[in-house]
Structure 1
Amino acid sequence: MRDTKLSRRAMFRTAVGAAAVVGLTGAMSGTAHAHWGVGRRIPRNRISIQLYTLRNLLEADLEGTLEALADIGYRSVELAGTYGRSAAEFRRLLDRYHLRATSAHVAFDGADVDDLIEEARTIGYRKAACAYANYSTLDEWKAFAERLDKAAAAFRRAGISYGYHNHDHEYRPIDGVRPIDVIAERTSPRNVHLEYDLYWVIEGGADPVVEYFRRFGRVLQFHVKDRGQDGGWADVGTGTIDWATLFRRTWIGPMKQYIVEHDDPADPLNTAKVGFDYLVNLRF
């Protein structure tokens, strides 16, 4: 069975190598051109990928897909589940392919927080985030923020930073108040950090740079997800977001994780390759 997976991995590597040429050409000719001159660069150990991007491949061949990510150059990943493996089993796979889980999306509502903390310790990540919440009233958002803060305080005491990952609806006001502001104002900066999904910030009608400085010091992670000409998702560097300017203007402050993501890629490994190469080569 392992030989089959190795053969599949070889196919992954061949496909990625060929697709990368096309992908990088697309990145260079896209609206958001890379800046290839002298300037700052994102440290490689700060470049990660949200495994949700590759969920279909991971379900079909977990080991082969993790190994392919390592071949691309990734050394860290953000989890969104363990694909039927225990925390210990998943950690052993990461170790086998020299990958490190630096963060994970884990839902705290309705879960045993102590169990979540133990899983984090086993796998080894020191950051986690609530991936999604959506309510129709401000009172519901306020109650959610209180629960979030309480859970995050427990994570903090265990040495893990727990945060909130946005979509676009948190930037759309309810009775004149944005849910993202409710979350920020009703949680402690000591307990809850923010993971900004930059595509969704823009889709919500907000300026990510303004939002960054509005919550200065709390933003510890970026989801680097590009926006196509049609408003949909695009591989990083091939869309309309000016990453060089955005990263230059938000460089000040805590060192962040830059996490490649695409919600529905046609070719997930090509998306991973194009995103990694773009961020590695970007100068700003």
Structure 2
Amino acid sequence: MTTRRDFLTSVGALATGVLALPTLAHAARVQDIGLQLYSVRDDMMRDAKGTLTSLAKMGYKEIESANSAKGYYYGLSPKEMKQLMQDLGMTLRSGHVGIDNNWQKAVDAAAEAGQQYLVCPSLPTQGQTVSNYERCADTFNKAAEACKKAGVQFAYHNHDAEFAKDNGRVLYDVLLEKTDPRLVAMEMDLGWVVVAGQDPFSYFERYPNRFPLWHLKDMKKGEAHSTVLGTGRLDVAKLLRGAKKSGMKYFFVEQEEYEGAPLASMQRNITYLKGLNY
């Protein structure tokens, strides 16, 4: 089964859903649910417009794209993607694109598509050392400057490898400490944080307001594989109650593996969230 990390490697993208923050004063119901489109990557490659129409009918509202073999928007131009989102009552809130020689092109496309965020989904250079993570932090600060000039917010998305240690330091913490919080936001993938044996709430306490974006991804018990929300090891309701401390503004449902059709899993995910009180 192809995982997101396998996919990113195979396409060379990184050499290379979302939920509006609800009122937290009272017990809340989930609203404005959105999705990371990697969850339906094959469907998007076959029929982007038809797939997005199906997701809109399910009730997904906010969308995060992922770079693909057909480009940033699955064969659509930035303007076409923006118009399609408007026609379907959706918002293209964010997109995943690796930092490479085409970064400025990606930034310009994000601005044209009306995105608020542009997210780098893995390290631009590899190496599980403090020195490499410091270099990556410098790269992120520079990439974020280009985003800022275009009116787009830069963010970085973690997997589990970032929580390894080098010389006693957690490498993810190096990124948090060496990036400019005014320029570099973090998109926390909750599933990978849990797989790495870390507590998201610890990060919310130590680095409040650094995580305006989340990936809400449930993980199978004892495995590093994603599953339908509510069937794995994440306490989704508890995590949502931590949204304010983290600074979360939106989160994106993401599921990488399935036991049936991807769109059927997306229906199960949104049904679960619509019925959730937290």
TM-score range, shorter chain: 0.7 to 0.9
Distance 1:281 1:257 in 2: 18
- Spell out the pairing of 1:79-228 with structure 2 (5 A cutoff): 79-81=65-67, 82-113=73-104, 115-133=105-123, 134-228=126-220
| Secondary structure of 1:110's aligned partner | coil
Contact 1:209–1:250 under 8 Å retained in 2: no
Q: TM-score, normalised by structure 1?
A: 0.81
Q: What amino acid is the match of 1:173? A: K
CA RMSD of aligned residues (A): 1.7
| Higher RCO, Cα 8 Å, sep 6+ | 1
Structure 1 residue 269: Cα displacement: 0.9
Q: Which residue of 2 aligns with 1:268?
A: 262
Alpha-carbon distance in structure 2 between the residues aligned to 1:158 and 1:87: 14
Q: CA deviation at 1:255?
A: 4.3
CA distance in 2, matches of 1:49, 1:112: 23
1:106-142 Cα distance to aligned partner (Å, 9 max, x none)? 22232242x2222112211101211112423222221
Bigger-Rg structure (1/2): 1
- TM-score of the pair, normalised by structure 2: 0.82
Q: Distance in 1 between matches of 2:110 and 2:149?
A: 13
CA–CA distance in structure 2, aligned partners of residues 108 and 174 of structure 1: 24
- On the 8 A contact 2:209/2:248 being kept in 1, the answer is no
How far off is 1:253 after superposition?
Answer: 5.2
- Please give the residue correspondences for 1:67-86 in structure 2 after superposition, counting only pairs within 5 Å: 67-81=53-67, 82-86=73-77
For residues 178 and 264 of structure 2, the distance between their equivalents in structure 1, rounded to whole angstroms, comes to 40
Q: Secondary structure at the match of 1:148?
A: helix
The runs of 5 or more residues in structure 2 that have no matched partner are 1-25, 68-72
The 1-side partners of 2:216 and 2:171 are apart by 22
Q: What is the Cα deviation at residue 96 of structure 1? A: 3.0
Offset of 1:79 from its aligned partner? Answer: 0.5
Q: Which secondary structure state, in structure 1, belongs to the residue aligned with residue 215 of structure 2?
A: strand
More helix by share: 1
Shift of 1:92: 2.9
| Separation of aligned partners in 2, 1:258 and 1:278 | 15
Gaps of 5+ in 1: 1-37
Aligned residues: 244
Give the share of equivalent positions with the same residue, in percent.
32
Is 2:240 aligned against 1:252?
A: no
* Distance (Å, rounded) in 1 between the aligned partners of 2:243 and 2:103: 35
